[in-house]
A and B are shown apart, each in its own frame.
Chain A
């Protein structure tokens, strides 16, 4: 930079002021609107209640089975009853595992032993994604993360499921 003083010309000064005033007007108009538009992003998702899936613990086997249950969903102004589903089984330790059927690749639904070529694996028909029984994605297939697992509890011998969450360590 040279030592020469940078003179702000009258025209430049007016231009800066104009930009400032224009910015104020744009902000005054747009701030409420943008705040309204981004509102859903800023909502904290609340912990959902656990709901009974109408399945006795005794009926859960080592083989994943598809259970379906209904929850009341509030979607903005629209309240409805939607069906959720999960693959439920007992692992080798006897712990109950409920896998979300939603493929971690692009969101299709996976099926236990959905392909005859891959026994003992979850199979996603969309892009041949595969997961082992514990939900871990088979390396070399499209999915990049293991299947989500549902929050769960057992009360009076019945299974209750909540929200599907990504598994802790991938």
Chain B
């Protein structure tokens, strides 16, 4: 039955080559920790992706309870942490996941850097990777305003002040981010929420797809 459904779809849109390309390629010996233990450094990229998946899933579930509104944001976070079963764990996964993402990302970046794996022809993939690094930092920054506690408020305040000091367009950047020239409040929170939940993840997904396509195209860099 399943086979028939698959064949029916495959005849029309020819999906076999797509997954065969992912599944059937060979992995060289030098990245396989089973052959050389030192090859564990090649796991960092995959683990970064894994934490990102955890972040996406836990974030999706957190929005079931969270409201981006200055009256209720803190209350809803407090509620989900104290009243909802496993709410503490899911928020914990998202909170610590953010830190772990940065750690794994750093390790992955260092691996690629010190192996010189970004050299021709892989320059483009390196730049895509660095852009993702910036996006993840942006996600971290916009993310911690959301619980609307003192740390959120003041860290955001400081961040916005820094943006304001940029020459010429500083005040405009700040207003664009905060939604108001002076107040860090309701409009800031909704903006940061939108950036954190839609804009940056959207950009991240696009770059992530590009990252993986490029890896399949170019293959893993050869041994040193």
Contact = CB atoms under 8 A, between A and B. Distances in A.
Contacts of A78: 72, 75
Nearest to A33: B61
Chain A facing B: main interface SS: helix
Interface stretch (A36-44, A54-62, A85-93, A103-111): A36-44
B57 A35 contact: no
Interface in A67-99: 76-78
A39 B76 contact: no
B89 A32 contact: yes
B78 A36 contact: no
Contact of A77 (B50, B58, B78): B78
Contacts of B89: 32, 36
A32 B80 CA distance: 13
Nearest to A28: B54
Nearest to B91: A36
A8 interface: no
Interface residues of B, number: 22
Contact of A29 (B57, B75, B85, B87): B57
Contacts of B64: 36-37
Given A29-B53, A29-B54, A35 B79 contact: no
B178 interface: no
Interface string A18-42: 0000000100011011011101001
Contact of B80 (A25, A35, A36): A36
B205 interface: no
B71 to A, nearest CB: 9
A29 B90 CA distance: 9
A37 B84 CA distance: 9
Given A36-B85, A36-B87, A30 B57 contact: yes
Nearest to A31: B86
A77 B93 contact: no
B72 A32 contact: no
B65 interface: yes
22 contacts: A29-B53, A29-B58, A32-B89, A32-B90, A33-B58, A35-B85, A36-B61, A36-B64, A36-B65, A36-B85, A36-B87, A36-B90, A39-B85, A39-B86, A39-B87, A42-B85, A76-B76, A76-B79, A76-B83, A77-B72, A77-B79, A78-B72
Interface of A: 25, 29-30, 32-33, 35-37, 39, 42, 76-78
